[in-house]
Amino acid sequence: MAIKRIGVLTSGGDAPGMNPCVRAVVRAALYRGIECYGIRRGYNGLINGDVVKLDEKSVSHTINRGGTILYTARSKEFMTEEGQRKAASTCKFLGLDGIIAIGGDGTFRGALALSKFGVNVIGIPGTIDNDIACTNYCIGFDTAANTAIECIDKLRDTMQSHERCSVVEVMGRNAGYLAMYVGLACGATAVLVPEKPIDFEQDVVEKIRQARLNGFTHYMIVVAEGAGSASAIAEQIKEATDLDPRVTVLGHIQRGGTPTGRDRVNATKMGYLAVELLKEGKTNRIVCTQDGGFTDIDIDEALAMHKNIQQMEIDVLAAMTGI
């Protein structure tokens, strides 16, 4: 079947690079003679028919913008079979030959559900958590990491001036990839992630003590939000060491900002490949990066995969901290 008209949506948490990806989908589609429609507010917009036609001008000057021009939302209605049926009905009514969904794990589960009603779907990983197992890289991760690194570098200046301990909570939901990357990049005293069981005495207190014995008078503790509350960690540090830690929760600042060059280029390549897959008649695929290149994988296979923190990162962190 020839692909004549497709839709693109962003779903779940926004990530820097989603706009360059939408732009790439639109321009690649038009390049191939395919009409492209933006579905606003994720699957909720698909249920309600919140659709707008996109052209070259619609996505002009969006490659440098954070957030998503299509908006995003989490739809409780779409989690039901009735909601999924409504969304599929919208696709049929509008004559959409395929949907490209940009987001994370939940977005792909939604795409898989939609496919069961006969809709062709392609997923593109866009999440700052970088927790999609089938791909080495997710759109938004690089920008979020650089935002957190910049913030922590500035915090370090004032922590050093006052000889203090700082506990910084980094986003990532139930995954510690962002926190680990940021902690390594900032030379943190300790990094706490949900993938690794925490021995508070050994992983935090002893590292602070070792740093002090090595002549340091300021300490930076990075905590993934899935590993616990930064405030609770700070209280434990105070009880164990008599230090008075300062807590910083970076929060949603990590989701915003101009996407980095890496996010723009990867998003552009992924958006282009997604259109090519639909044009070739493929469906139920996720665009991903593996072994330094771009490829695609079946959604069912992708969702069954599990991702872990690399042991090398844990070993490097152990060697670098407290020195």
Which residues belong to the active site? 129
Q: Could you tell me which residues come within 8 angstroms of residue 218 by beta carbon, excluding any fewer than 6 positions away? A: 156, 159, 160, 162, 163, 164, 165, 166
Which pTM was predicted? Answer: 0.95
The pLDDT of residue 323 is 42
Q: Kindly tell me if the per-residue pLDDT of 322 is higher than 70.
A: no
What residue has token string 């910083």? 248
pLDDT digits (tens, 9 = 90+) for 247-273: 999 999 999 999 999 999 999 999 999
Share of the chain above pLDDT 90, in %: 89
Grade residue 58 by pLDDT with cuts at 50, 70 and 90: very high
Q: Kindly tell me if the per-residue pLDDT of 162 is higher than 90.
A: no
Most confident of 121-135, 147-161, 202-216: 121-135
How many beta carbons lie within 10 A of that of residue 276, not counting itself?
15
| φ, ψ (nearest 5 deg) of residue 83 | -65, -40
The pLDDT of residue 69 is 97
pLDDT digits (tens, 9 = 90+) for 173-220: 899 999 999 999 999 999 999 999 999 999 999 999 999 998 988 899
The pLDDT of residue 321 is 67
Bridge partners (DSSP) of residue 298 are 285
Q: Kindly tell me if the per-residue pLDDT of 163 is higher than 90.
A: no
Q: Note whether 20 and 68 are within 8 A (CB).
A: no
Grade residue 160 by pLDDT with cuts at 50, 70 and 90: confident
Q: Kindly tell me if the per-residue pLDDT of 114 is higher than 80.
A: yes
